[in-house]
Amino acid sequence: MRASKYFFKTYKEIPKEAQTPSHILMHRAGMIQKLASGIYNYLPLALRTLKKIEKIIREELDKRECQEVLMPAVQPAELWEESGRWKYYGHELLRFKDRKNSDYCFGPTHEEVITDMARKILTSYKQLPLNLYQIQTKFRDEIRPRFGLMRGREFIMKDAYSFDINEEDAKKSYKLMYEAYNAIFERINLKFKPVDAATGAIGGDMSHEFQVLAETGEDEILSCSKCSYCANIEKAVSGNEIKKADASKKKELKEVSTPNIKTIEELSAFFKLDPARFIKTIIYLVDEKPVVALLRGNEEANEAKIQAFLGANSITPANDALIKSITGAEVGFAGPVKLAVTIIADKHIYEDTDYICGANKTDYHFTGFDPERDFATWTLQAAPRQDVANGCGISTHIAAGASSRHPCRDAERDVHVADITFAKEGDKCSKCDTGILEKYRGIEVGQVFYLGTKYSSLMNCVFLDKDGKEQVAVMGCYGIGVSRTMAAAIEQNHDDNGIIWPAAIAPFEAAVIPVQTNNELVVETSEKIYKNLLAAGIDAFMDDRNERAGFKFNDADLIGFPVQIICGKLVESGKVEVKIRKTGEKKEIDIENIAAAVKELLLSL
């Protein structure tokens, strides 16, 4: 392609609204344009990269016998009603009506459509395993789109769905996709980690995210320094031991006046005690039912763990009115004592006794609160090792009416103890016991889910097994954010001058830059080199613009061509200068050998 007619334009200025490197650089390099919040045009340069990412994905999936399909972006509401998601998917689902006033949505994901597609054809176990995928535009009406393509509302996604005869085979399919994803991101040549992940609204009970490591990533990852354990902070389990408090330190429960002292900081200042000596009582609405979370004052609630523990679809903090109605007090005085709702207590609260907690009475708190004595009896257990991968720690359910010995207990309560805080950098690894957790930031570019029969049973996706018995297909689903992968590649690989593309996904592999456009030999030679490169199957870009050298060099660095072939005065001696974008290194190469030399260089980029 020739620069003189190529549809792009580079900018020196940083657009006001661009904040993050990939957004700034894609805009400055003339790759994308914003059309509306979270909605972008992909110009030719960007599309070339997208196509290259897609090609790698297709090759790796086809190799593993996945089959490509293409589903509609517009989906009828009926299917979503069948799966139950029309109700709870929320505002992120873009809904609209057609002229007949029927409900539709713009697909944010395709579990419903694919399950419907599969059930129309699946009749026999002989057709399984089956893995179908598509690469297509999705729309999610994000509450806050940001960072350009990193979190757009409209984006390009590869989504795949597997169908198997049983759980065992479904896990094999899952593993195969896990391997495919590793192969894909290795070929794209990004630094990434597969991490244990929470399952969120898509559901299912096993999941890994593929995180591209970058400072600007929105996700936090904890990774073991010694073993392979690596998890999203929402899911990561600390291996630190919980030491039970010394029973001799127990004190009496006593109500004390704390006028207008509401937050942990205020309490901490008022009592002149460390925040860890208080119990934080947070009230949530979990699938529209109130749930109380208890934590030590120095800990933060991990809502994803609470949601996962309760197997819920949604979790939001309760509003003030609900808090008042549950506690019978103003906001700021909630406590666990005598609360007749589901309680989920963090395991760390056993580390101490004589806590201060809200009294469920405006302007009062309790001192001397003991977790064991004061609202239920339960036994503390260490987190079982097998829970590290799937669950989130201990699950000691207290049967209703477990005890009636203490007046503070309510027989009807549902009380759980679980790990509902965040593991921290420096904590012991929960898997190997010798390593410690290290923190990274990442960009989630892919996620694999084991779904089980969540959708297939609701939507009756069944087949006959060997014995002629009807079985429900066991599913998995697998996504890669194609447009986000492009952005993530830039977040991870750029410098002050511009983008540093991994060669595998660069819009062009090499740029030919004639520096003196008034020198006939230079122009002729550069044309010859350009044709040689094309003939050798190299994606070459010819900067034939009548511009000064510096202008072209800057554009080349900004767009990030991995290899730049600079044709200047050296052509008189039969050589050109070849610059490697990544290292800045320059080599003199004989014009005769240029195509072979560039090919060789590209292999290492």
Partner RNA sequence: CGGGAUGUAGCCUAGUGGCUAAGGCGCCUGGUUUGGGACCAGGAGACCGUAGGUUCGAGUCCUACUAUCCCGACCA
State which of positions 533-552 bind RNA (CB under 7 A): 546-551
Q: Residue 183 interacts with RNA (CB under 7 A)? A: no
Give the nearer residue to RNA in terms of CB position, either 165 or 480: 480
Listed residue (457, 490, 489) closest to 473, CA to CA: 457
- The neighbour count for residue 283, using CB atoms within 10 Å, is 19
> Could you say which of 237, 359, 423, 480 contacts RNA (CB under 7 A)?
480
Nearer to RNA, 156 or 253 (CB): 156
Q: Which residues pair with 163 in a beta bridge?
A: 130, 475
Map the footprint of RNA across residues 438-477, applying CB under 7 A: 444-447
Decide if residue 144 touches RNA (CB under 7 A).
yes
Number of amino acids touching RNA (CB under 7 A) = 74
In the list 73, 523, 570, 602, the residue contacting RNA (rule: CB under 7 A) is 570
Q: Which of residues 76-105 bind RNA (CB under 7 A)?
A: 92
Nearer to RNA, 151 or 365 (CB): 151
Q: Specify the residue, 259 or 550, whose C-beta has the smaller distance to RNA.
A: 550
User: What does the alpha-carbon distance between residue 367 and residue 358 come to, in Å, rounded to a whole number?
Assistant: 9
Q: Which of 92, 97, 90 is nearest to 74 (CA)?
A: 97
Min separation Cβ 570 and RNA, Å: 5
Nearer to RNA among residue 204 and residue 435 (C-beta):
204
Is position 235 an interface residue for RNA (rule: CB under 7 A)? no
Residues 385-444 that bind RNA (CB under 7 A): 444
Interacting residues with RNA between 26 and 65 (CB under 7 A): 28, 34, 36-38
Least separation in angstroms between CB 584 and RNA: 8
The answer to whether residue 111 forms part of the interface with RNA (CB under 7 A) is: no
Comparing C-alpha atoms, which of 384, 403, 380 is closest to residue 393?
Answer: 384
Of 53, 206, 294, 558, the residue at the interface with RNA (CB under 7 A) is 558
Q: Contact, 494 vs 502, CB < 8 A?
A: no
517 contributes a contact to RNA by CB under 7 A: yes
Phi-psi region of 584 (alpha: psi -120 to 50; beta: other; left: phi over 0): left
Q: Do 152 and 40 touch, CB atoms closer than 8 A?
A: yes
Beta carbon of residue 141, minimum distance to RNA (angstroms, whole number): 10
310 binds RNA (CB under 7 A): no
428: CB partners within 8 A, 6+ apart:
238, 239, 240, 241, 435, 436, 437
Token couple for 449: 């889910």
The only residue of 133, 542, 577, 601 in contact with RNA, by rule CB under 7 A: 577
The DSSP string of 436-488 is BEEEEEEEEEEEEEEEETHHHHHTT-EEE-TTS-EEEPEEEEEEEEHHHHHHH
Cα 556 to Cα 46, 236, 293, 496: the distances in Å are 15, 42, 55, 13
In angstroms, what is the minimal distance from the CB of 78 to RNA? 23
With contacts defined by CB under 7 A, name the span among 94-102, 153-161, 332-340, 346-354 that binds RNA: 153-161
Pick between residue 189 and residue 516 the one whose CB is nearest to RNA: 516
Establish if 209 lies at the interface with RNA (CB under 7 A).
yes
321 lies in the binding site for RNA (CB under 7 A): no
What's the DSSP call for residue 349?
Answer: G
CA 578 – CA 601 distance, rounded (Å): 10
Q: Does 312 bind RNA (CB under 7 A)?
A: no
Closest CA to 285 of 307, 262, 309: 307
8-state DSSP, 327: H
User: Least Å distance between CB 109 and RNA?
Assistant: 7
Which residues ranging from 157 to 176 are in contact with RNA (CB under 7 A)? Answer: 157
Q: Cα separation of 110 and 285, whole Å?
A: 28
Give the shortest CB-411-to-RNA separation in angstroms.
Answer: 32
* CA atoms of 537 and 531, how far apart (whole Å): 10
Residues 6+ apart with CB under 8 A from 311: none
479 scored as a contact of RNA (CB under 7 A): yes
Q: Which is nearer to RNA, 367 or 421 (CB)?
A: 421
Q: CB of residue 227 vs RNA: minimum separation in angstroms?
A: 24
Contact status: 14 vs RNA (CB under 7 A): yes
Residue 10, interface with RNA (CB under 7 A)?
A: yes
Measured from the CB atom, is 444 or 491 closer to RNA? 444
- With CB under 7 A as the contact rule, the residue among 200, 275, 290, 328 that binds RNA is 200
Residues 329-388 that bind RNA (CB under 7 A): none
Nearer to RNA, 2 or 243 (CB): 2
- Of 43-51, 287-295, 414-422, 568-576, the segment contacting RNA by CB under 7 A is 568-576
Instruction: Output the CA–CA distances (angstroms, integers) from residue 274 to 68, 269, 374, 407, in the order listed.
Output: 58, 9, 21, 29
Residue closer to RNA, measured from CB, 68 or 219: 219
Which ranges in 150-250 belong to alpha helices (H)? 167-188
Which amino acid is residue 380, in one-letter code?
A: L
* Residue from 2, 4, 17, 97 binding RNA (CB under 7 A): 17
In the complex, the smallest distance separating the C-beta of residue 134 from RNA, rounded to whole angstroms, is 13
CB closer to RNA out of 60 and 370? 60
Is residue 233 within 8 Å of residue 220, measured between CB atoms?
yes
> By C-alpha distance, which of 126, 146, 140, 113 is closest to 34?
146
The residues in 268-307 that bind RNA, with binding defined as CB under 7 A, are 303-304
